[in-house]
Amino acid sequence: MHCSWVQERLVAFADGELSPGEATFVGEHLDGCEECATLDAALRDVTPAPSLAVPPEVLARMAAAVDEAVMAALDEPIVAAPPGMAARWGRWLRRDRDLSNGAMVGYGILLAACVGWGVSNWIAYQELQQEITNARPVAAAAPSSPATIDSDDYEPASYSPDASEENWR
C-alpha cells in the first residue's frame, strides 16, 4: 500500500511539488525500499532536466540595456531645486479641486470669520480674567451673629485644653 502511494508521487517528489511532510515520507520510503528507489532513478534518467527559462544571450543583452539606461540617467543634468514653500502649498491646495474660484473664496472668508470669532472670544476671556484679578475685595460682612463661630474660634468637640485620658473613659 505504501509503495503504490509513493510511486504515484515520485514525479511530484522529483519536481519538489510535495508538501514537506509528504516529501519527508517519500524520501524515507525511498531509503528503505529498493523497488521504489529503482523506479525513482529510472524516472530521473528518463525525465529531461529543465532548461533555463532565459537563455544566457538574453540575460547579457538585458544587463547591457540596464547599464546603458543607468549611464544615460547619470548623464542627465541635475534637476533644479524644488519650488519654494508657497508654490508647494499652492499645488497642494489645488489638488483634485472641483470647486469654482468663487466657492473657494467663500470658504476662505468663512474660515477667516471663524478664526476671527475664536480670537475675539479668547481676547474677551483674557480681559474678563484681568478684571477679576484687579477687582476690589468685597467689603467685610456684618459681624457674625452669635449662632455662628468664626473660623479662628472653632475647636473640635473632642478638644479640651487639659486633655487627658481620663476624659475619654
**More reliable by pLDDT, 78 or 132:** 132
Q: Is residue 60 part of a domain?
A: no
CA angle 122–123–128, rounded 5-degree value: 95
* pTM recorded for the entire structure: 0.31
Domain total in the chain: 2
DSSP string, 3-66: HHHHHHTHHHHHHT-S-HHHHHHHHHHHHH-HHHHHHHHHHHHHSPPPPPSS-HHHHHHHHHHH
Domain residues for the domain of 127 are: 100-134
What is the rounded CA–CA span in Å between residue 48 and residue 69? 38
- Chain segment 118-141, per-residue pLDDT in tens: 999 999 999 988 888 887 665 555
Q: Is residue 33 part of a domain?
A: yes
Q: Are 66 and 39 in contact (CB under 8 A)?
A: no
